[in-house]
Chain A
Amino acid sequence: MIDLKFTVNGKKVQLRVPGAKRLLDILREDLGFLSVKEGCSKGECGVCSVIFNGRVINACLMLACQADGSEITTLEGLSKNGKMDLLQEAFVETGAIQCGFCTPGLVVASRALLNKNPDPTEEDIRDGLSGNLCRCTGYTKIVAAVKAAIEKESNTRRGDS
């Protein structure tokens, strides 16, 4: 058992868990962040994507002991006060969701991408999301959703200034 302290979606948490417990299980079972999915348990599908200290990781591959002191964002952390992230809005509007099992991971990975690079090329988008499989959509509308979100974000920035 180890004592674990980290920040999830802006809130500090403190837990006592087996050191070999996967971050995925901690997030889902101990903390109830059910947006974090399990699809392969081997780092191959991306449905367990979370933002970990600013970059996307697969929560199925990370152990509790590695998470100590980190800052983690799950999909639940993207919508603020019941308002969706612009990416979430764009995924809904462009029809980028079918079964929805890949959706949390893809939205999270897209968020990390846009945080780093607010104006990516299509190739940057495809590179940034290449760790997230989707078996339903054929990806066309996912690329369209990210592009639509970029557009929305640049409009808000313009609107703000």
Chain B
Amino acid sequence: MNLNLLHGVVGQSVPRVDAEAKVLGKGIFIADLFFPRMLYARVIRSSEPHAKITHIHLETARLVPGVPAILTAEDIPGRNEIHVVFNDQPFLAPGRVKYVGEPIAVLAAESPEIAEEAAEKITIEYEVLPPLLDPLEARWHPDIHLFGKDNIYRHLKVRKGNIEDGFARSDVTIENEYRTPCQEHAYLEPQGMVAVPRPNGLMDVYGSMQCPFYVQEGVATVLGLPLSRVRIIQTATGGAFGGKEDVPTLVGVQAAILAQKTGRPVKLIYSRDEDIISTSKRHPGIIRYKSGAKRDGTLQAIEVEYILDSGAYATLSPVVLWRGTVHAGGPYRIPHVKVDSYAVATHKVPAGAFRGFGSPQILFAAESQMDELARALGMDPCKIREKNLLRLNDETITGQKLTFSVGNLEAFQKTVETSGYLKKRNQKKETPGPIKKGFGLSSVYYGVGLGAGGIHLARAGAYVQILADASVQFAVGTTEMGQGMATVLTQIVADELGLPFDAVTILETDTSRVPDAGPTVASRATTMSGNALKDACGKLQESLFRAAGDLLQISKESIQIKEGWAVDSGKPGHRMTLKEVIAECFKRRENMAAAGFYRSPEVSWDDETGRGNAYITFAYATNAAEVEVDTETGVIRVLKITAAHDVGKAINPQLVTGQIEGGIVQGMGYTLTEEIVTKNGSVQNPNFSTYIIPTIKEAPEIDPLIVEAPFPNGPNGAKGFAEQPLMGIAPAIANAVYDAIGIRIKELPLTPERVWAALREKEGRDKRSSH
């Protein structure tokens, strides 16, 4: 740490830098952007899950006045390819469709109404083919091949110890199959982009997105342009949660190819049902999980098979699967491990990134298993967790030794103590009447950043300049989508340069301002861009310290900068304003602009051995859920969730608690109501009256708690964590439901119908056994 810096605003809950524009309702979102002569786009999509396209009838649509362009796969100037991890996904279906909602054609019209009219006049003839809709059927299917010869995008494994020994040494083993649903992101702002052609073949694309550099690559590839002619500018993004990781590439290219063809700006905003039908979601999961432990509760072994229903193109599934696989054991010491996981192709809308990225599914199983083990051993679920939690210098299931920043036990203890879990559980009385109360726990951990699964992207650039009036502008390549990055990074820059918070301004994320920073995913923005900014600020500090030292006539080593002042550390009264110091720098013609760069520390992964140092570090959390189950209706009410998260350092505690609260309620939706239902591959509930997300009425009381086990490589000790709040909610609630009614439900969501049926089944069993 640089001793010349005294911290001012880092660690404080300053209001968000974007709060004012948002609370005043300024037109900062993509739908609010208008350009002269702008056209409106529509996408024509497949109605079939699997079919050959035999004919596309465009003639009648072409007769509609005011439709300057209708394009199909044949009209693509560059390559018909959207690269995510593999290159299997076309931009427009080339003669064959693989999911309902797959884009076949795009058109641009003078108004949204004309666009709709023309779109309705396009008819497509298909030769329908049999679809594969069940991943268990699709895996290794002999005849129908969506991907390779086995329909498996990726098979991964983890191996540790000796699995036979592990179970032989176990006094109890528990084996179950769990199923998790397809979850929709339901960001409130639908996908949208505006493409604006510029002179000399340049293309600007504005929009709602997490990963501008992905969009840049997609636009360049499909339009046949060099990357240098494509500029992507992120507009305020109304929620994303992973749903705006790879999908906006498609949306951006859809707008851009029409803009290129017509030479006019083109706007494309998805309707809600179009968005739900055609964009990525959380993978449905099947998890077969066997766990073994000794009589005293010490975990011995896990054997897991993990299957993700991945949809018609690979998109992010290979890396989603990787994160899930690495997280299979939860935050525990387990000596013997065998995990096999499969991302399987099916004729459904491709599943993709969603907060937690393949881990919530497997953690639901892992944490339900922990409670089942505890029950079989007659232990409290609290005790078995405490006994096995990873501590400093322990090894994860992939063999990574944890040598720093392990706030696992501390988060666990904080949650257990603050929630009053033990007391509440022990004092719980059998209540008369239909309402039963229950308490449940879950502990989870989260590998920060892309890890070895995406190490080639694990770098970030930044740009900082101090202006003559002592204000600062900076830019990064990661994005703000509501999570608070812009504010946190502004706090870091303010402290690094010793200037007041409001002297610092973050510019919109624009691919022409900074080098490729990789995607804004995996809770990586604070650590990656934060470190790149520190690098840039370090260069500017040199000039500041030199000038201040000369002006105060002391050595530059004894200068401290803070909140607008340069101070003589030996004599605090001896000081001058940074304004004067900066004026001096300008007089000396110092370079007051600096580029910064950060490369994440090395990580490793070996597909063959299923081992590696998967992540740069981990965040940790324990959740305690308090629920009521109505045994007459099957309705679950979540009363309260207490959750402590080890975040390394809370740069802005209010933003941290905001992430905890938001993740919890999204996780509660995943647990209780949210499920995308498909029939013959077609989404049946593409709106908010049939796809039910939590409202303010169901939102529980939340007690968010912060633990800080500093991460030595993080800016100010911080590590990313904002996905983690969602990850353990399903098992915490399911464990509480078990505590309330003695029923283990192994399939999400825990709808009243499912709970009610389980209750009646148990009643039947109880009655039979009492006779």
B32: A residues at CB distance < 8 A: 34
Q: Across the two chains, which residue of chain A brings its CB closest to B189? A: A101
Are the C-beta atoms of A142 and B696 separated by less than 8 Å? yes
Q: Across the two chains, which residue of chain B brings its CB closest to A25? A: B112
Q: Is B655 an interface residue (CB 8 A)?
A: yes
Contacts A37-B29, A97-B16, A99-B237 given; indicate if A139 touches B658 (C-beta within 8 A).
Answer: no
Report the bound CA distance from A91 to B26 in whole Å: 15
Are the C-beta atoms of A126 and B687 separated by less than 8 Å? no
A127: B residues at CB distance < 8 A: 697
Q: Across the two chains, which residue of chain B brings its CB closest to A82? A: B24
Are the C-beta atoms of B23 and A88 separated by less than 8 Å? yes
Q: Across the two chains, which residue of chain B brings its CB closest to A145? A: B23
Of the listed residues A36, A84, A103, the one surrounded by the most CB atoms of chain B closer than 10 A to its CB is A103
Are the C-beta atoms of B238 and A99 separated by less than 8 Å? yes
Are the C-beta atoms of B272 and A42 separated by less than 8 Å? yes
B526: A residues at CB distance < 8 A: none
Stretch at the interface among B256-264, B306-314, B659-667: B659-667
Q: Is B219 an interface residue (CB 8 A)?
A: no
Are the C-beta atoms of A99 and B187 separated by less than 8 Å? yes
A97: B residues at CB distance < 8 A: 16, 18-19, 22-23
Q: Across the two chains, which residue of chain B brings its CB closest to A125? A: B696
Q: Across the two chains, which residue of chain A brings its CB closest to B665? A: A138
Q: Is A130 an interface residue (CB 8 A)?
A: yes
Are the C-beta atoms of B482 and A100 separated by less than 8 Å? yes
Interface residues of B in 164-208 (CB under 8 A from A): 185-190
Q: Is A114 an interface residue (CB 8 A)?
A: no
Report the bound CA distance from A42 to B690 in whole Å: 12
Residue interface mask A115-142, B partner, CB < 8 A = 1: 0000000000111011011111111111
Interface residues of A in 11-45 (CB under 8 A from B): 33-42, 44-45
Q: Is A148 an interface residue (CB 8 A)?
A: no
Are the C-beta atoms of B188 and A45 separated by less than 8 Å? yes
B241: A residues at CB distance < 8 A: 135
Contacts A76-B25, A101-B239, A133-B693 given; indicate if A40 touches B661 (C-beta within 8 A).
Answer: no
Are the C-beta atoms of A34 and B25 separated by less than 8 Å? yes
Contacts A41-B271, A42-B687 given; indicate if A138 touches B699 (C-beta within 8 A).
Answer: yes
B27: A residues at CB distance < 8 A: 34
Residue interface mask B695-714, A partner, CB < 8 A = 1: 11101011000000000000
Q: Across the two chains, which residue of chain B brings its CB closest to A95? A: B654
Are the C-beta atoms of A92 and B23 separated by less than 8 Å? yes
Q: Is A57 an interface residue (CB 8 A)?
A: no
Report the bound CA distance from A37 to B25 in whole Å: 9
Contacts A42-B687, A97-B16, A140-B702 given; indicate if A133 touches B25 (C-beta within 8 A).
Answer: no
Partner pick for B662 among A74, A130, A132, A136, CB 8 A cutoff: A136
Report the bound CA distance from A37 to B483 in whole Å: 20
Interface SS of A by simple majority: loop
A47: B residues at CB distance < 8 A: 188
Are the C-beta atoms of B271 and A136 separated by less than 8 Å? no
Q: Across the two chains, which residue of chain A brings its CB closest to B695? A: A130
Residue interface mask B680-701, A partner, CB < 8 A = 1: 0000000111000111110101
Q: Is A66 an interface residue (CB 8 A)?
A: no
Distance in Å: Cβ of A122 to nearest Cβ of chain B: 10
B15: A residues at CB distance < 8 A: 92-93, 95
Partner pick for B272 among A40, A104, A140, A142, CB 8 A cutoff: A40
Number of contacting residues on B, CB 8 A? 58
A38: B residues at CB distance < 8 A: 31, 269
Are the C-beta atoms of A132 and B189 separated by less than 8 Å? no
Report the bound CA distance from A44 to B272 in whole Å: 11
Q: Across the two chains, which residue of chain B brings its CB closest to A100? A: B22
Q: Is A75 an interface residue (CB 8 A)?
A: yes
B694: A residues at CB distance < 8 A: 139
Are the C-beta atoms of B696 and A135 separated by less than 8 Å? no
Report the bound CA distance from A69 to B238 in whole Å: 33
Number of contacting residues on A, CB 8 A? 49
Are the C-beta atoms of B699 and A140 separated by less than 8 Å? yes
Q: Is B607 an interface residue (CB 8 A)?
A: no
Partner pick for A37 among B31, B688, B701, CB 8 A cutoff: B31
Q: Across the two chains, which residue of chain B brings its CB closest to A90? A: B23
Are the C-beta atoms of A99 and B24 separated by less than 8 Å? no
Report the bound CA distance from A99 to B27 in whole Å: 13
A41: B residues at CB distance < 8 A: 271-272
Report the bound CA distance from A55 to B225 in whole Å: 52
Report the bound CA distance from A136 to B722 in whole Å: 11
Q: Is B20 an interface residue (CB 8 A)?
A: yes
B272: A residues at CB distance < 8 A: 39-42, 45
Report the bound CA distance from A36 to B29 in whole Å: 11
Q: Is A72 an interface residue (CB 8 A)?
A: no
Of the listed residues B23, B189, B701, the one surrounded by the most CB atoms of chain A closer than 10 A to its CB is B23
Report the bound CA distance from A136 to B27 in whole Å: 19
Q: Is A51 an interface residue (CB 8 A)?
A: no
Distance in Å: Cβ of A125 to nearest Cβ of chain B: 8
Are the C-beta atoms of A134 and B188 separated by less than 8 Å? yes
Are the C-beta atoms of A136 and B24 separated by less than 8 Å? no
Q: Across the two chains, which residue of chain A brings its CB closest to B187? A: A135
Report the bound CA distance from A135 to B697 in whole Å: 13
Q: Is B473 an interface residue (CB 8 A)?
A: no
Q: Is B13 an interface residue (CB 8 A)?
A: yes
Are the C-beta atoms of A95 and B188 separated by less than 8 Å? no
Contacts A37-B29, A39-B189, A137-B662 given; indicate if A95 touches B482 (C-beta within 8 A).
Answer: no
Report the bound CA distance from A83 to B260 in whole Å: 44
Q: Across the two chains, which residue of chain A brings its CB closest to B276? A: A40
Contacts A34-B25, A35-B25 given; indicate if A99 touches B696 (C-beta within 8 A).
Answer: no
Contacts A44-B687, A45-B688 given; indicate if A104 touches B25 (C-beta within 8 A).
Answer: yes
Report the bound CA distance from A102 to B693 in whole Å: 14
B90: A residues at CB distance < 8 A: none
Distance in Å: Cβ of B690 to nearest Cβ of chain A: 9
Q: Is A79 an interface residue (CB 8 A)?
A: yes
Q: Across the two chains, which residue of chain A brings its CB closest to B660? A: A138
Partner pick for B696 among A34, A36, A104, A139, CB 8 A cutoff: A139
Contacts A127-B697, A135-B693 given; indicate if A99 touches B23 (C-beta within 8 A).
Answer: no
A93: B residues at CB distance < 8 A: 15
Contacts A44-B689, A45-B688, A92-B15 given; indicate if A135 touches B186 (C-beta within 8 A).
Answer: yes
Are the C-beta atoms of B662 and A107 separated by less than 8 Å? no
Are the C-beta atoms of B29 and A101 separated by less than 8 Å? yes
A-B contact pairs, 20 of them (CB 8 A): A34-B25, A37-B238, A38-B31, A40-B687, A42-B689, A74-B25, A92-B16, A93-B15, A95-B658, A97-B23, A98-B662, A99-B237, A99-B482, A100-B28, A100-B482, A133-B695, A135-B185, A135-B186, A136-B658, A137-B658
10 other A-B residue contacts (CB within 8 Å) besides A99-B239, A138-B664: A34-B26, A75-B24, A75-B25, A91-B19, A91-B23, A99-B238, A100-B21, A130-B697, A135-B662, A140-B699
